[in-house]
């Protein structure tokens, strides 16, 4: 709608610096967490080894960031408050960026919407302080400080009070600040971080602390992830280290059975910078798509490093998005590296599965007086006599078991096969419970296997290998289906015609933007070729490649595997159960079924004894 009166020409004006800074602040400083991000990144760029952050009222009334970095000399303090003034680039090459910050907008933007004070001392200089409020900077004054820089921001958005109405509660803003600090702490494991909430005055309460890590990069990162994401993530995460054509991927990715109900445990970094990039998130999801159901999300902390010229970080003022010169290369590296690591994990399942199982046990009479466990056992001779007296009774109960393994497995070259099997990862089968669960004994505990889920995964992996080795059988259409597309979509689709043909989808040009579908995968039966091609095109536009067709084929194979596997309720012989255990040990991904649920639970003998008070 035109707000100007008719026949009156609008006048072009040059905005003053205060208005320019407030506009810039709207892009750079969305909420208190954005201010914390900018100030902490400046501290890391300054070479800090320790960073202390204090906030009050969710960062609305106070944000203070102190570091022991290189500091700023007194004569350069006023320049630090000027727009587009930075020490991190020379302005000649915006594709050669090695620091978090480079735009020179954070400090003047914060000074335009809040009351900002910078106190700093550089080596060989005296300490100095400068303040700016509402865009108006004061004079530089002497100040006492040992080393580094302290930036204090009070009354955020006091100069733009309308922005305060868009902020959330103090608790929500504090949580957002913690998330920012946690991400930056993962990016800099050799730096110590301390976040303190000083709402109400006083020393406040420590909300987050991470001491500086030592050792090589992988050890330091593993230690920092354990502190930030918890010991459970560190125990159930697989190390990732892969390189391809100038891109290096490192970090840790969790086992599929250590999944989440949302994407809150996904942390992605490009050249050390925390990013929220849909290309990388899509690649992470694609790597796990064969192991998780749609309502579960993988957990990972991945670091993608490359030459600055291969990625553009100057896409958004908040620098949370990046653009790769070759997006397909970055996506392919993530997918292949994660799948290789998951395959190398073999039958391993997350330790949290056993923890949840132990937590489900409830001793009878819990809450009453503690029983006198050791005294009730009696002397060894008395126990032996009691066992001897009970033996006939237990023998009479044999028919009541679903299936007990009476005979030992065939002996191996080093003696009794059953004893030898106990020292294998999944042990030797001892019983079948409710015709669905195999109980096996290991060297230091026991394993409970869901026979249907385990065999379903084994059959599925075998079918996938056959598809990869022999290709996908194609079904020729009696009458080719003609699909009308745009010229651009047709060209994009034909660029991938060879890959689609290996999956049983045969297409060729049919003049203009039309495509003739001559073959479809036989496994899919009757399909809507037009809808399938459009789904593939959508993914090609978003991600550079389309897993849609392969995902649909694998979904069919998964259903076939489900129907072709050992059914629940089937009684298995001893050799069948042990053969299933051995095959699980030799098959990648056998620790989870086709939907991401665990196929077995391992309980250590020490944990079982604790349940009975025998520790």
Continuous H helices in 190-314: 217-229, 231-235, 278-288
User: Tell me, what's the pLDDT at 464?
Assistant: 79
Mean pLDDT of 217-238: 91
Other CB atoms closer than 10 Å to residue 146's CB: what's the count?
7
The residue-averaged pLDDT of 99-126 equals 81
Which of 82 and 90 is assigned the larger pLDDT? Answer: 82
Intrachain domains 17-210 and 217-345 with the same fold: no
Q: What are the percentages of helix, strand and coil residues in the chain, rounded to 5?
A: 40, 20, 35
CA neighbours within 13 Å on the CB side: how many for 514?
A: 9
Query: Residue 91: pLDDT above 60?
Result: no
> Does pLDDT of 558 surpass 80?
no
- What is the separation of C-alpha 600 from the centre of its chain, rounded to a whole number of angstroms? 24
- Whether residue 13 is predicted with pLDDT greater than 70 in this model: the reply is yes
- pLDDT at position 93 is 52
pLDDT bucket at 208, cuts 50 / 70 / 90: very high
17-210: which CATH topology?
Heat Shock Protein 90 (3.30.565)
Residue 529 has pLDDT above 90, yes or no: no
Report pLDDT for 397. 39
Selected residue with higher pLDDT from 397 and 351 = 351
* Residue 393 pLDDT exceeds 50: no
CATH of 398-615, one of 3.90.1150.10, 3.30.1370.100, 3.40.1110.10, 3.40.50.300: 3.30.1370.100
pLDDT of residue 242: 94
**217-345 is a CATH 3.40.50.720 domain:** no
- Write out pLDDT tens, residues 182-199: 999 999 999 999 999 999
pLDDT (tens digit per residue) in 329-350? 999 999 999 999 988 887 777 7
- Whole-Å CA distances, 182 to 30, 42, 221, 240, 284: 19, 16, 13, 20, 20
Q: What is the dihedral of CA 206, 211, 212, 214, to 10 degrees?
A: -170
pLDDT surpasses 90 at 171: yes
Question: Given this model, what pLDDT does residue 563 score?
Answer: 60
CA dist 477 → 90, 273, 501, 506 (Å): 62, 50, 14, 10
- Tally the residues of the chain: 615
Q: Which of 12-21, 161-170, 410-419, 575-584 tops mean pLDDT?
A: 575-584
CA distance 29 to 22: 10
- Stronger pLDDT, 614 or 325, i.e. the higher one: 325
Which of these ranges, 187-201, 394-408, 472-486, has the smallest mean pLDDT? Answer: 394-408
Q: Is the pLDDT of residue 300 over 50?
A: yes
For 433, the token pair is 């419970």
Hey, where are the domains in the chain? 17-210, 217-345, 398-615
Give the pLDDT of residue 377. 42
Q: How large is the average pLDDT for residues 545-552? A: 64
| Contact indicator for 464, 507 with CB cutoff of 8 Å | no
pLDDT of residue 399: 43
- Residue 413 in this model has a pLDDT that exceeds 90: no
pLDDT band at 588 (very low <50, low <70, confident <90, very high): confident
Banded model confidence at residue 89, pLDDT cuts 50, 70, 90: low
Residue 252 in this model has a pLDDT that exceeds 50: yes
pLDDT for 253-299, tens place per residue? 998 888 888 888 999 999 988 988 888 998 998 888 878 877 789 99
Query: Where are the alpha helices (H) located in 101-242, listed in sequence order?
Result: 106-113, 170-187, 217-229, 231-235
The per-residue pLDDT for 390 is 44
Average pLDDT, the chain: 80
Assess whether pLDDT exceeds 60 at residue 388.
no
Span of 74-78, 230-234, 463-467, 576-580 with lowest mean pLDDT: 463-467
Going from the C-alpha of 611 to that of each of 282, 430, 615, the distances in angstroms are 43, 21, 9
Collapse the DSSP code of 371 into the 3-class scheme (helix H, G, I; strand E, B; otherwise coil) and give the result. Answer: coil
Please check the confidence at residue 17 and state whether its pLDDT lies above 70.
no
For strands 266-270 and 300-305, give the pairing: parallel
Q: For the ranges 31-35, 71-75, 524-528, which has the lowest average pLDDT?
A: 524-528
């Amino acid at each position: 709608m035109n707000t100007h009166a008719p026949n009156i020409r609008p006048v072009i004006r040059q905005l003053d610096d205060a208005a320019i800074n407030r506009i810039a602040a709207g892009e750079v400083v969305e909420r208190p967490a954005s201010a914390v991000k900018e100030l902490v990144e400046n501290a890391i760029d300054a070479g800090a080894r320790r960073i202390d952050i204090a906030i009050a009222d969710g960062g609305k009334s106070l944000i203070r960031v102190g570091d022991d970095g290189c500091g700023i000399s007194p004569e350069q303090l006023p320049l630090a408050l000027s727009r587009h003034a930075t020490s991190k680039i020379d302005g000649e090459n915006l594709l050669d960026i090695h620091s978090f910050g480079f735009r020179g907008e954070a400090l003047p933007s914060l000074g335009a919407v809040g009351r900002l004070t910078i106190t700093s001392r550089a080596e060989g200089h005296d300490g100095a302080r400068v303040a700016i409020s509402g865009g108006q900077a004061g004079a530089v004054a002497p100040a006492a400080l040992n080393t580094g820089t302290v930036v204090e921001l009070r009354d955020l958005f006091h100069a733009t009070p309308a922005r305060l109405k868009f902020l959330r509660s103090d608790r929500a803003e504090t949580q957002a600040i913690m998330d920012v600090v946690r991400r930056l702490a993962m990016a800099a494991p050799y730096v110590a971080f301390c976040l303190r909430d000083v709402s109400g005055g006083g020393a406040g309460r420590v909300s987050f602390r991470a001491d500086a890590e030592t050792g090589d990069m992988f050890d330091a990162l593993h230690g920092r992830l354990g502190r930030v994401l918890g010991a459970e993530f560190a125990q159930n995460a697989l190390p990732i280290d892969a390189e391809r054509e100038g891109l290096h991927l490192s970090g840790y990715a969790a086992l599929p059975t250590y999944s989440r109900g949302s994407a809150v445990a996904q942390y992605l970094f490009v050249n050390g910078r925390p990013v929220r990039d849909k290309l990388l998130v899509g690649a992470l999801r694609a790597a796990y798509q064969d192991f998780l159901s749609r309502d579960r999300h993988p957990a990972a902390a991945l670091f993608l490093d490359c030459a600055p010229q291969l990625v553009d970080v100057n896409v958004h003022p908040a620098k949370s998005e990046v653009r790769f010169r070759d997006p397909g290369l970055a996506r392919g590296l993530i997918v292949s590296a994660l799948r290789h690591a998951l395959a190398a994990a073999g039958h391993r399942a997350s330790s949290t599965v056993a923890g949840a199982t132990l937590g489900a046990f409830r001793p009878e009479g819990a809450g009453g007086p503690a029983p006198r466990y050791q005294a009730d056992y009696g002397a060894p001779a008395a126990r032996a006599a009691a066992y001897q007296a009970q033996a006939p009774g237990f023998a009479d109960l044999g028919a009541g078991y679903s299936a007990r393994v009476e005979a030992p497995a065939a002996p191996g070259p080093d003696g009794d096969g059953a004893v030898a099997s106990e020292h294998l990862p999944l042990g030797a089968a001892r019983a079948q419970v409710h015709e669905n669960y195999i109980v096996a004994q290991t060297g230091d505990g026991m394993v409970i296997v869901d026979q249907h889920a385990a065999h379903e995964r084994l059959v599925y992996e075998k079918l996938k290998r056959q598809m990869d080795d022999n290709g996908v059988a194609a079904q020729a259409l009696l009458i080719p289906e003609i699909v009308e597309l745009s010229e651009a979509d047709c060209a994009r689709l034909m660029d991938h015609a060879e890959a689609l043909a290996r999956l049983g989808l045969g297409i060729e040009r049919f003049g203009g933007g039309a495509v003739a579908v001559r073959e479809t995968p036989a496994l899919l039966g009757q399909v809507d070729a037009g809808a399938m091609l459009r789904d593939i095109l959508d993914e090609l536009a978003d991600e550079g490649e389309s897993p849609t067709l392969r995902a649909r084929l694998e979904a069919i194979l998964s259903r076939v595997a489900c129907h072709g596997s050992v059914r629940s309720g089937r009684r298995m012989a001893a050799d069948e159960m042990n053969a299933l255990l051995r095959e699980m040990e030799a098959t990648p991904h056998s620790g989870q079924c086709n939907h991401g649920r665990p196929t077995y639970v391992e309980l250590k003998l020490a944990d079982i004894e604790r349940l009975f008070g025998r520790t």
